[in-house]
Structure formats: structure tokens, C-alpha cells
Chain A
Amino acid sequence: MQTAVPQIQCQAVSHSLRSGQQDLQILDQIDFEIERGEFVAVVGPSGSGKSTLLGILAGLERPKQGSVRFDGMALEQASEDQLALWRRKHVGFVFQNFQLLGNLSARENILLPLELIGMQNAGQRADELLADVGLAQRGHHYPSQLSGGEQQRVALARAFGHGPEVLFADEPTGNLDLETGAQALDLLLRLREAQGTTLVLVTHDASLAEKAGRRLRLVGGRLVHDSSKQDTNA
């Protein structure tokens, strides 16, 4: 019988940052696995290490100890270039502050990852994505000419455009009002559903976390609760 390898394996990951003369422990011995297509919410109070964990899982940062594997590939052993190529193909991002490139129009922001993977008909695909997020008429507008909600929709279109296998979202509704945030979240979940993308979402928002199939709770850099498991790591 063949055992399927989990898509993401986080093994004994620890991380610290230098603060003045001492090291500040941000993550401490984090262990978990994520299966393909899962929707995992990472929750916890401010400073608990949620964003750091997201960065490490996405290959944006290397853990001080432990290992993160994606489909069996150890990210911490890959070079900067290899990580970039991996993100280019397999990963999408949505950020709290949208992180749209200010000198590019909405359409060009969406085009960037499509062109990076050398997609044929990238322009057509970008137009489809703009239509999907309800901004078909705003493609030529620059981020500064769009509202927060519109910017986040562009960011979602950019994140899903190239069909990533996993999407990392950092407080995607954190900068939006309740109604706009709910609309953005609906869109995010709809796109994920349509593409079967694994979603790892960092949030403070309990109601948002409730929508996830699984919740990981971090406190003081330690994983204190994994809703997929019976027991709780105190």
C-alpha cells in the first residue's frame, strides 16, 4: 500500500530573532503537516509568531532549526534562486496591506506572475481574472486609484492567477471594513474552492478562523492547539 506524502511538513521548526544583545525566541519546536487542498487557519495573539511561521512555510525566511518540506522538498536546503522558482510556480500570496506594486496598473499587477511563468495568452487570462473579481473596467487603474477592497480583489486575482498549489494569506481582511472584508473573504474562498488550492491563512479574527477546516493556535511561539488532533499541546 502506498502512503501519500503530506503536501507541507513542518518538522521541529524553531526560529529566533536578534533583539539587542539577546535572541528572542519567535517559534519553538513547531510540528505539523498539511494535506493537499486543506484550509488551515493559524491563529493566536499578537507576537505569537503567526506571520513568522507563514514566512517560513512560504520559503520567504529560513528557520533557525527544523525543516519545512513541500511535496518532500526541504525548503531550508534550497538556494534563494530555487526558492524563487518554487514560489513562482507553486505559491500564491495575499497580504494584509495588499502589497500591490504602485507603479503597475491593476491589470499589470495581475499579469506579473502569469508572465513570470511564461503563460501563453497571459493578457487574456488577466482580463478573465479581472472580470472574476468584478474589476473588468478598472484594469488600467493604479493601486492608488483603487479603494482598499478593490486593491485586495486585485491582490486575490494576482494570487490565484497562475493556479498555485498553495496560497498563503496574512490577515487578508485586516485592513478592510467588515462588509468589504466579508466580500473579499467570500471571493478568496470561492477562488480556492474552484481551484482546489491549499490555503494557509493567518488571522486574529475568530469568525474567519471558524470557516477553516483546521485551526492551529500559537501562543508565545509554541503550537498549543491543532484542531485536527484529539489532544492539545499545552
Chain B
Amino acid sequence: MNPRFTLRLLARESRGARGRMLFFVACLALGVGAVTGVSALVSAVRTGLASESRQLLAADLKVDSRAPLPEELDELIASLEPLAVAGTVELATMLAAPPKGDQTTGSSRLVELKAAGAGYPFYGELETKPAGLRPDQLAADEVLAASELCAALDLQTGDELQIGGQGYRLAGQLLFEPDRLKFGLSLGPRVFLSTEGLARTNLLDFGSRVTYARLIKLPEWTTERGLEQWQKALQPREGGNARRKVQTHRQAQPNVERSLRNVERYLGLVALLSLLLGGVGVAQVVRVWIEERTQAVAVQRSLGLRPGEILQLYLIHVLLLAGFASLLGCLFGWLLPLVAARIAPEFISTEAALAAPWPILVRGLGLGLSIAMLFALGPLTAIYKVSPVLVLRSEAAPLEIPRWMRWLTALLLLLGIFASAWVQADSAKVGAVFSAGLLLLVLLLVLGARLAIWIATHLPRQSLGLYLRNGLSCLARPGAGTTATIVALGLGVHVIAALLLVETRLSRELRDGLPSDAPSLFLIDVQPDQWDGLQDLLARYEAQHTSSTPVIMARLAQIDGRPVRELAEERKEDKGRASWVLTREQRLTWSRDLPATNKLTQGAWFKDDGIPEVSLEQRFAKDLGASIGTRLTFDLQGVPVEFVVSSLREVDWVSFSINFFLVVEPGSLEGAPFSYLASARVAPSKEQALQDDLVAGFRNVTLLRLGPMLEKIAGVLERIATGVRVLGWIAVGAGLAILAGAISAGGLRRRREVALQKTLGMTRAGVVMLLAVEYAMIGLVAGLCGTLAAYALAWGFLEQQLKLAHELNWWLLPIFVLGSALLATTCGLLSSLRTLATRPAASLRA
């Protein structure tokens, strides 16, 4: 066939297919919209971060370290002639407000303290009230506090605050800090002071976790290559003792980037589910389309059109429709960040939202086209079954579809789903797990649907009454598309139900799931000579389960003689394994006995054989690439100490007891400076008073309260859950669109049936009841299968992955099943309005 003729045939074939096209487009556009929307949203956040990258670092280049930066570094920086340099020091500590009313000690909070030198920030503006306050211009006894802290402690400008045992006057409020993420997790609100102000405290003298940094401003014309050269020049020398991180503004917020990638991956896969459901919808529309066109195909074949030519014709048709639907979906996806920018401007700026992410739109278009073609191919091969002899005899037997074609379409579909998941997750492994899980779920839903159809067929229906009997028989009606509808709707219900089950269980765990003997607070940086006094203080507040563990900070230097820097470089190439476990600061403790909440999984506890041994938490060991017998060399303030891995442990993290990845043999770190990490359980009503007393008496000790931290984590969880929930509802929407599509596609047959039923004396209300029972049945089966599969998934995830006792909410089961039935019935009846309006006279013309 020549192209012009093909196009003409195509245009003619499109006539009178508005309803079909509408559902085809709706199904696919919804899925493509979800996929591109998620990616566009993440891209907009990323674009925003990139455009503000200098602001996020407040500089072009940042050098930071847990140890004070040496003078040589400052000399080196100066020799490279930057435009400007500013120093910052950050640490978490406690702040006490002035006593109010009859209080003897003021209220206290854990805050993130930051001292900044002149010039900070080089990029972006500190917004303060009153305006124009800068940390370096503060007097040595003045501080700037975040507005949320002022609100929480009812602070007024001029109030006297206590930090690290020194008094400070509140000079003003901090409204905005450019290099602090608005949506990150932090230990507490920000408090600024000058370098001289920080020097007044002796917080730096204790073992506090302090970060020292130099912010460097470079000329505006510095290229990326120039930045890299700077970075290279400031990196510590190979084999040297210096430990510091040098990052350019382009690498700012690697944690955020990692989180964004994870969010994009997981939300992207849920979105892909909507697109695959769209594919099921496409398959169903095409199946009914070909069924309706069977006679026309027979005529075309009798006139001399080859089956391959007819297939080609319909394929191009599908391609054009899919192209239009995908473009529509892309438009929706592109608009999503704009809507998000209006709703939550703190996450996304309008400029970032407007930046059209072309690769994402192209990928969305590609995914939409591929999924539509892959799902349409199977139903389209039915063209081969149409015998041309149908033009003479309506009961002509269908022809055989070539065997190779059946296998090829099935194989292409499976490969296509895997490839889409791979593209979407950017990981072949995740793609394979997703595809396998989906296949399993679809099989379960298909089995459920088949079972329901079997029951509907074999159940003695005589005693069931007119409506139930007819409703059940409709499930088993040939060509009703019951299986596809149940699979699609069931998948949507599954996503929503699984999410809700996991989310409610996790929220409960975070909010009130603490074991009765779990600590409620942790005390960090307790010096050995402070421990007795601190125990007395804790006893005054009737603290229970008080315990302390020695902690030594060290860096891993070598694994089996290979420098970790070399190993970390190799890890950078391997996306599946993180390099940060190698390079971060490690906390070591020692213990004679295996901690109560630990279980040995490999090896044996320490032997007194003269070789220093270390026990590793099993997942940490896996991340490290270590096993029994591996030699780990630590750098302990310049002194190398070697340990042999002698055992691996499983840790019950949910107990919230103090636990460590690394436990070394007692005596192996003799003489090394250490601090205590302590924990205790105190009644929530006494926590604040204890914290206030602690600030007054133990100014270097940082107190972490578990309750507020868990609240924060629950808040973040809630935000992620909202995203998944929205996508889950899109999946349910796709399922309902498929149901509506199936109803509309079989509209002609239904109208004939309804006309006949009315002719036989059934009222309109009676017909509504008949249809309602049928749709409710579909919803019930889909809801039951989808929800049961969700319970299985939630159990697997909570029990096997998170090791949480599953305690699932079984009362949600009837709610989901009935909710699904109600949705399906409502959507089904709304889609049948035209059918319901059919007049009895139509039966005469049928």
C-alpha cells in the first residue's frame, strides 16, 4: 500500500470512533501524565537547586572538616588568590531562654549553632528582622535566632539567652538562611553568632561534633574546569593525615540529590503502574474495536487487503492516537510543576517550573507510544483470526493466529514492561524486581477474576433473585472484558491499600510504638568526669533504664591494606553501592559482652588471643564489603590501629537502645580519648525540665529527645506518602477509566440488551439495578483481590524488610472492598447513561 492510500484509509477508519478514541486517549494520557509529572516535578526541584547552587553553598567552593582546619590550608587558599574567604563553625548544642514567670530555669531547645566570619554569605541574602543584621557584625555577646525558635520559646529582641554556659542578648530574628534547605531534616532551629561570640563558650574544647569550614568566593568567570582545579588543589595530599571534604557549588547538597533520585525512582515506578494500567485500557479498547470491526475486516480481506496490511493500518492508527494521548499526558506532566509552584512555592520556584524538561517529555512520549503499541499488538493480531468467508457466513470459524506471532507479542510485552521499569528506575535490578512483582500481582488478579467468573458460571443462580442472577451472569458474559477490568481496578486498589497499610503501621510505630523500656532521650558528648553528676541529675528526674556507652570517633583508613580513598573512587563507578560508608567518620565502642539487643549471625564473640578484634553489624559489613577475617585499619587521631573482623551481628534497631555498627574488643583502644553516649527513659512531662537543668549544669552535653525527632520523621513520611497516594489515586482513576471504556466499547450490544429488557417490561429503575449489580460485582472482586495482595505486600515489607510485627488493620479490608464496589458502581452507571436512555423500539431494529 502506498503511504497516501494508507493515510486515506486511516482517516476513513477514524470516523464514528469518538467514544473509543476518548477512552483510548484518557487511559494513556493519564498514565503518561503521571510518569512525566513525577519526573518534571523532581526535575523542577533539581533545576531550582542547580540555579541556586551557589546560594546553597553560600560560596563557589567549600572546604569542611570535623577537625579544626590547619593554618597551612589557609595559606594554600590565600596563595591561590580567591576573591574572598570566610570561615564558619557549626555545632548542635542546647540553648536556654530566660525564665518566665515563676520559672527558676528558662525553657531550652536543641539548636544548630553557626558562627560565620566576614563576607558570609557570598551568595544569597540573610533575611533578618530587623533587616540588615549580619553574623560577623554581631557583638561577642549577641545572637540571631531563627523565627520559629523565637515563636516556640516566646523570645523577644533583647532577651538574655544561655548557650554553652555564657549569656547572650537576642539581637534579632533570622527569617531566611540561603544555605539551609527549607525541607531538610535538622536537629534544631538555627542560631547565629559571631566567631568571637562562639569563642566565649568552651563548647569547642569538648568532644562536640563540630564542623569547621572555609567558604571561598571565586571570580564570576571561573569555569567548571577552573572549579575542579581549585577542588583538586585543596584536596588533602595522598597518605596525609588531613581529613577534609572539598565541594564545589555544583556538588552542593549531595544528600538532597540522593533523596531526589530515590523519590523519583519510587514515585516514578508507581506512576509507571498508572501508565501500564493505561496500556491495559488501550488493549481493551483495541480488542473491542477489532471485535466491532470484524465484519469490516472480513470485507476488506475479501476485497483483497492482506492481513498484514490491515494490521499495519490499525497499528498506524494506534500510533497516531497514542502520539496524541502521550502529548496530552506530557502537557499535563509539564503543567504539574507549575501547579506545585503555586501550591508550595517553598519547594519549587515558578522559573524552575517553567523550564521545560525536554528529555523528560521525550521520554514520556516514548514510553506512552511504546506501552500503547505493546499492549495493542496482542489484540490487533486478532485481525489474523478474521476469516474472509464471514462475508458469506456469520458462523464461519475463526482462523488461527500464527504461533510465532502469539509468542512474539507476549515476549515483546514482557520485555517492554521490564525495559520501561528499567528506564523509569534507572536500574536493571529494580526494573526486574518491579516487573516480577507486577507479573505476580497480575497473575493473582487474573486468577481472582477467573475464579469469580467460574463461580458466576457454576453457581446455581435460580434462587438468587432476578437482579443478582443477571448481575452474576454479566460477569461471565463473553467479551465483557471482566478480567481486564478487574486486573486494572485491582491494581489501583492495591497501590492505595498497600500504601495506607504500610503508612498507618509506620506512623503508629513512630508515634507510639516505642517499647516500654526504650529510652526517650539520648545524651551526647558526656565527658567521663561528668558522668557521675549527670547520673545524679537523671535520678532526680526518676529516669529509668539509664545506660552509657563509651564512644571514640575514628576514620577508616584501610580495608585489607587497601586505602579507603581508592575503594571509594571505585565505588563511585558502581551505582549500587554507596561510597559514603567508607569515608564518613565512624563511631566505635567497646564491650565485653554481646549487647542484649544484638544477635550473632556469623563468627564468634571476642577471644583473648592478642589480636584486636571488631564485630560488625551485618548490613554495615555488607555495605563496607567486609566479612569474617577482613582487616580494618582505623585512623585514631593520626595513629593507625588495625582490627580483624571476628563476628557479624544482627541489631534490633527498633528497640531504640544504643547500638553501634562497630564494636571493638575491650582494651584494644586503651588510652584513646573518649566520651559517653548515654540514654535514659524519662516521663515526657519531665523531659523539658530535665533539659533546662541540663543546659544550666552540663553546657557541653547535647540532649536529643526521641519524641520530637520521631514526629519530624513521621512528618517527612507523611509528605512522601502524599505523593504516593496521589499517584495511587491516578492508578485507581486509570482503572475506572478502563471500566468506563469497557462499558462504552460494548455500548451497542448493551443498548440492544436494554432495549429488549425494556420491551419485555423492565422499568428504567430495574435496568439501573441490573447494571449496578454487575458493576458492583466487578468492584467487589477487584477490591478483594487488590486488597488481599496489598496485605501480602504490606506484611512482606513490614515483617521481612523492616522487621516490624505486622499487626495489620484488618478492619480496612471491608472498607477497601466496599469502597471499590461503590466506585465501580458509580463510575459504571455514569458511563451507562446513554445506554439507560435507550428506547424499547430499538429492539425492533436490532
Question: A residues engaging B (CB < 8 A)?
Answer: 17-18, 51-52, 54-55, 58, 60-61, 80-81, 84-89, 91, 93, 95, 99-104, 108, 112-113, 115-118, 158, 170
Contacts and interface: CB of A to CB of B under 8 A. Distances in A.
Contact of B391 (A99, A102, A108, A112): A99
B139 interface: no
B392 A54 contact: yes
Residue from B304, B308, B388 with most neighbouring chain A CB atoms (10 Å): B304
Contacts of B389: 55, 60-61
A51 B296 CA distance: 19
Contacts of A95: 391-392
Interface centre among A112, A113, A158 (most CB of B within 10 A): A112
A113 B387 contact: no
Contacts of B309: 84
A145 to B, nearest CB: 13
Contacts of B393: 51-52, 55
B306 A87 contact: no
A99 B397 contact: no
Nearest to B304: A88
Nearest to A158: B303
Given A84-B305, A95-B392, 13 more contacts: A60-B392, A81-B308, A84-B306, A84-B309, A85-B304, A91-B304, A93-B303, A102-B296, A103-B296, A112-B303, A115-B8, A116-B5, A116-B305
B405 to A, nearest CB: 13
B392 A103 contact: no
Contact of A103 (B5, B16, B303): B16
A88 B399 CA distance: 20
Given A84-B306, A101-B299, A116-B303, A55 B392 contact: yes
B758 to A, nearest CB: 23
Contacts of B296: 101-103
B306 A80 contact: yes
Contact of A93 (B1, B8, B302, B305): B302
B15 interface: yes
A31 to B, nearest CB: 22
B162 interface: no
Contacts of A89: 304
B5 A60 contact: no
Given A103-B15, A104-B12, A108-B12, A81 B392 contact: no
Nearest to B297: A101
A170 B392 contact: yes
A84 B16 CA distance: 27
Nearest to B14: A103
A118 B5 CA distance: 9
Nearest to A100: B299
Contacts of B397: 17-18
B284 to A, nearest CB: 21
B201 interface: no
Contact of B304 (A52, A55, A84, A103): A84
B392 A113 contact: no
Contacts of A81: 306-308
Given A101-B299, A102-B296, A103-B296, A61 B305 contact: no
A64 to B, nearest CB: 12
Given A103-B15, A115-B5, A115-B8, A60 B303 contact: no
B2 interface: yes
Given A51-B392, A60-B389, A99 B299 contact: yes
Nearest to B17: A103
Interface string B416-436: 000000000000000000000
Nearest to B15: A103
Contact of A99 (B1, B295, B306, B307): B295
Contacts of B392: 51-52, 54-55, 60, 95, 170
Nearest to A86: B304
Nearest to A101: B296
Interface in B277-310: 295-296, 299-309
Nearest to B299: A99
Contacts of B301: 84
B799 interface: no
B375 to A, nearest CB: 24
Interface string B752-764: 0000000000000
B13 interface: yes
Interface in B455-482: none
B396 interface: yes
A104 B397 CA distance: 27
A113 B299 CA distance: 11
B391 A93 contact: yes
B306 A85 contact: yes
Given A60-B389, A60-B392, A61-B389, A88 B13 contact: no
B391 A61 contact: no
A88 B303 contact: yes
A39 B392 CA distance: 20
Residue from B296, B303, B306, B393 with most neighbouring chain A CB atoms (10 Å): B303
Nearest to B310: A84
Contacts of B307: 80-81, 84
- The list of the 4 closest CB pairs from A to B, nearest first, reads A88-B304, A60-B389, A84-B306, A87-B304
A5 to B, nearest CB: 23
A61 B396 contact: yes
A176 to B, nearest CB: 18
B308 A113 contact: no
A24 B387 CA distance: 19
B7 to A, nearest CB: 11
Nearest to B2: A118
Nearest to B12: A104
B64 to A, nearest CB: 71
A66 B725 CA distance: 65
Nearest to B395: A17
Contacts of A170: 392
A113 B5 CA distance: 11
B387 to A, nearest CB: 7
Of the listed residues B299, B308, B396, B399, the one surrounded by the most CB atoms of chain A closer than 10 A to its CB is: B299
